[in-house]
Amino acid sequence: MLNATTYVTSQEGIGGTIRNQYEDFYVEEIPEVIPDGEGPNVYVWIEKLGRTTLDVVLDIARDLHISRKRMGFAGMKDKKAITRQWICIANMDSEDQFRQVENLDIYNTDFLKVVRGRKKLRMGQLKGNKFKILIKDLDDVQESAEIANEVLTELEIRGVPNYFGWQRFGKPRTVTHLVGEALVENDLEEAVRRYIGNPTEDEGEDNQKARKAYDDGNLEESLSLMGKGMRYEKMMIKELIKDSKKGELTDKSYMNALHALPKPLQRMFVHAYQSYLFNEAVSNRVAMGIDKYVEGDIVIDNEEHIVRDKSHEEFQELITNFKANPTCPLYGTKVPFAGGEVGEMEKGVLDKYGVKKEDFEVPKMPRLGSFGLRRNMRFQVWDSKATPTDEGVLCEFSINKGSYATAVLREIMKKDVI
User: Considering the chain, what percentage of its residues have pLDDT values greater than 90?
Assistant: 94
The pLDDT-based confidence of 8 (bands split at 50, 70, 90) is: very high
Please determine, for residue 172, whether its predicted confidence score (pLDDT) is greater than 90.
Answer: no
Q: What pLDDT is attached to residue 230?
A: 95
The pLDDT-based confidence of 171 (bands split at 50, 70, 90) is: confident
Q: Indicate if 187 belongs to the active site.
A: no
User: Considering the chain, what percentage of its residues have pLDDT values greater than 70?
Assistant: 100
| Averaged confidence pLDDT in the chain | 96
Please determine, for residue 361, whether its predicted confidence score (pLDDT) is greater than 90.
Answer: yes
Q: For the segment 59-81, what is each residue's pLDDT rounded down to a tens digit?
A: 999 999 999 999 999 998 988 89
For strand 373-376 and strand 324-330, is the pairing parallel, antiparallel, or unpaired? antiparallel
Q: For the segment 80-112, what is each residue's pLDDT rounded down to a tens digit?
A: 899 999 999 999 999 999 999 999 999 999 999
Among the listed residues 44, 393, 4, 32, the one whose alpha carbon sits nearest the alpha carbon of residue 163: 4
Opening angle at CA 38, ends 37 and 43, nearest 5: 60
The pLDDT-based confidence of 258 (bands split at 50, 70, 90) is: very high
Residues 6 or more apart whose Cβ sits within 8 Å of residue 50 = 22, 79, 80, 81, 108
The pLDDT-based confidence of 315 (bands split at 50, 70, 90) is: very high
Please determine, for residue 398, whether its predicted confidence score (pLDDT) is greater than 90.
Answer: yes
Burial of 158 (0-12, 13-18, 19+ CB in 10 A): buried
Catalytic residue, chosen from 24, 59, 78, 243, is 78
- For residue 335, the tally of other CB atoms under 10 A from its CB is 21
Q: What pLDDT is attached to residue 228?
A: 86
Residues 6 or more apart whose Cβ sits within 8 Å of residue 177 = 2, 168, 169, 269, 272, 273, 275, 276
Q: What pLDDT is attached to residue 82?
A: 97
Please determine, for residue 288, whether its predicted confidence score (pLDDT) is greater than 90.
Answer: yes
Q: What pLDDT is attached to residue 78?
A: 86
Please determine, for residue 202, whether its predicted confidence score (pLDDT) is greater than 90.
Answer: no
Please determine, for residue 167, whether its predicted confidence score (pLDDT) is greater than 90.
Answer: no
Q: Are 384 and 397 in contact (CB under 8 A)?
A: yes
**DSSP category for residue 335:** P
The pLDDT-based confidence of 12 (bands split at 50, 70, 90) is: very high
The pLDDT-based confidence of 418 (bands split at 50, 70, 90) is: confident
